[in-house]
Each structure stands twice: as C-alpha cells, then as structure tokens.
Amino acid sequence: MDIDRAMSNPASVFATPEALSESSELTAEQKRAILMQWKDQLQQLQAADDEGMRRNEAAAGSTDDLLGRVTSVLSQIDADSKRASNSG
C-alpha cells in the first residue's frame, strides 16, 4: 500500500472508510491521520457545494453521507484507542 497516496487522496486507495478501518496494514495512528485528511477533503467539497460551485445535488448528498461515515469510523478508532490505553 502506498501510504503517501492514501494520505493525499484516501478515496483513491480505499473504496470506503470502513475498508480503511479494516486494513491490517495500517496502525491506528495512520488510520486516524488518513481519516482526518479524508474528512478535511470532504468538508472542502461541502463548502464548495454550499457556495454553489457544484451543480449535482446527488453528488452533494453522497459527500454528506461519506463525511458522516468517515466521522463515524474516526470516532470508533478514537474510542478503540482510548479503551486500549486505559486497559494497559
């Protein structure tokens, strides 16, 4: 896996945030960093949607859905990390 490519364009490496979450090739910290990048990119797309720069409402809806999924997976990784550090 190309970690640099995953960091710059997560969607080009992972079909879904869930696929990223299930990857055994990445540490929790790497997953978190990539998800944060993905979240940032989606928020930028949302801002463009809000400013009327994109015309496709279906694309805007899928951006919102994907952002929700990225945020959910990120929260799960954070919770797992916190549990791991508290149990050790």
pLDDT tens digits for range 14-56: 999 999 999 999 999 999 999 999 999 999 988 887 777 656 6
* pLDDT of the residue at 85: 87
**Residue 12 clears pLDDT 70, i.e. is over it:** yes
Computed on alpha carbons and rounded to an integer, the radius of gyration of the chain in Å comes to 14
**Residue 2 clears pLDDT 80, i.e. is over it:** yes
Kindly state the DSSP code that residue 25 receives in the 8-state scheme. S
* pLDDT of the residue at 53: 64
| Beta carbons within 8 Å of 2's beta carbon, 6+ residues apart | 13
**Residue 57 clears pLDDT 90, i.e. is over it:** no
Q: Do 21 and 28 contact (CB within 8 A), yes or no?
A: no
Residue listed under structure tokens 């919770």: 79
